[in-house]
Amino acid sequence: MDSSGEDINGMVEKDDAPKGPSGQKETSTADMLRIKQQMSNQCFEMEVYLNAGKNRRSCSTSEAERDYSDHISELERVKTLQFNQTLALHRMQMWHAMGEKIKTNDPEADALKVVNQRCMALCCRIKQIQQETRLLQDEITELQKKRLEMKRLTHEKMKEMEDLMSRKEHPDTEKYKAALEKGQTNLEKYKKMSIMAQNVLRGLLLACKINWLDDPKLRDVAMTLEEFPITD
Amino acid sequence: MSRLNPFAKLPGLNTASVLLVESEEHFQQSLAEALVEETSVTVNVRLAKSFPLPIENDESRPRIDLVVFIINLTSELSFQSAEASLKYLEPGYFLGKVCFMVTNARSSSVPAERLDAVRRLAASLHCPLLFAEEQTPEGVTNAAERLLTILKAAAGFVPFTTPLYLSNLTRCTLPPDIDQPSFD
């Protein structure tokens, strides 16, 4: 593949562009300043390039990278500082110019004064509203604190209640259980005794062929024998 | 071999010159036409296919403020030609006067390694890497606008900025996971 280069016709230029001193349109002061700035930028670049070889020292690539980033951050810091200071300077110049203007009594100064008054009124209003906002915000914070407190109390009370409930059942049921068991054992014992007595009486009545129908007292006693089932 | 020197000639007043290098000579023309639309400065656009540039034009060629390598990602030849042309530039150009522009990055037929290779190249040279869409007129206008921003800084039209400083802000950086396989 042959290494072809630039095409003679490979140049694109606007037809009505100002081509040189012959066809140049009138350059205003702003344009002149711009061109001067451009040229000073270019000269600065060339100067930098010329001075580039002067402070040569050998170091490794990683060291160079580190120095590079350090220099870049320093440069950025200084640029930001300069930018902020220029802004401050412009602000001061503006205020000075406005002050001077207001001191004169033209219609423009009057218009400026009207705008100033409006700005002041708006600023007062803003301050007022900010104070109100602050008060409302404080109230809201108070309410929120109260609500949180309420919640905490409710939580505590619920825990207490739960505690109490679980605790109360325990001692009662224990005593109750013990008494219940004792009663039950007693009941069993007496039941057995009475069943045994009844069985003995029934046996006696049957064996001795006692006529219990005639005697009312004996009849009552015999009737009660039917109530309990015959157990061993 | 003669190398292109950034400081060999005097800069033009209110003029910025850019050299578009593209081995396919496809996108150059439309981009050039979009670039000369700029009214606040006079933009000279020179087109080339690759380096070395013919010696016959050395006299008439103005001082080139910015060299733009247009790489079409769908062709390997484009990338290789751009890489080969790099050695014909003086090192002074790589302090902010070189820019890489990539087209067809969204095409599915592009292998991921080629974009990575272009990225590595741009990152190692500390140059900005722009992505351009050449099929639509809006894409061309957008690319021209971005290129003009860099060109204006390279030609000295932006106060308090040198192309070296701008290149430090706009230079291509490698993502830390560039060596890991992509998720395709």
Helix/strand/coil (H/E/C) assignment for every residue in chain A: CCCCCEEEEEEECCCCCCCCCCCCCCCCHHHHHHHHHHHHHHHHHHHHHHHCCCCCCCCCHHHHHHHHHHHHHHHHHHHHHHHHHHHHHHHHHHHHHHHHHHHCCCHHHHHHHHHHHHHHHHHHHHHHHHHHHHHHHHHHHHHHHHHHHHHHHHHHHHHHHHHHHHHHHHHHHHHHHHHHHHHHHHHHHHHHHHHHHHHHHHHHHHHCCCCCCCCHHHHHHHHHHHHCCCCC
Residue ranges of B 83-102 with Cβ closer than 8 A to chain A: 92, 95
Query: Does residue B145 surpass a pLDDT of 90?
Result: yes
Burial B60-93 (b: 16+ CB within 10 A, else e): ebbbbbbbbbbbbbeeeebbebbeebbebbeebb
Q: Is A5 within 8 Å of B52 when comparing Cβ atoms?
A: yes
Query: Does residue A156 surpass a pLDDT of 90?
Result: yes
This model of the complex carries an ipTM of 0.78
* A–B CB contacts, 8 A cutoff, strictly below: 93
Q: Is A37 within 8 Å of B156 when comparing Cβ atoms?
A: yes
Query: Does residue B140 surpass a pLDDT of 60?
Result: yes
**Within an 8 Å CB–CB cutoff, is residue B61 touching chain A?**
yes
Q: Is B47 within 8 Å of A11 when comparing Cβ atoms?
A: yes
Q: Alpha-carbon distance A226 to A115, whole Å?
A: 118
Q: Is A46 within 8 Å of B45 when comparing Cβ atoms?
A: no
pLDDT (tens digit per residue) in A173-210: 777 888 889 999 999 999 999 889 888 888 888 888 77
Nearest CB among A4, A41, A72 relative to B162 is that of A41
Q: Alpha-carbon distance B168 to B18, whole Å?
A: 20
Residue ranges of B 105-124 with Cβ closer than 8 A to chain A: none
Q: What does the pLDDT read at residue A226?
A: 66
Q: What does the pLDDT read at residue A214?
A: 78
Tell me the nearest-neighbour CA distance from A11 into chain B, angstroms: 5
Lowest model confidence (mean pLDDT) among A88-92, A217-221, B16-20, B41-45: A217-221
pLDDT (tens digit per residue) in A62-76: 888 888 889 888 988
Tell me the nearest-neighbour CA distance from B10 into chain A, angstroms: 9
| pTM of the predicted structure, to 2 decimals | 0.61
Tell me the nearest-neighbour CA distance from B156 into chain A, angstroms: 5
Q: A1: nearest CA in chain B?
A: B81
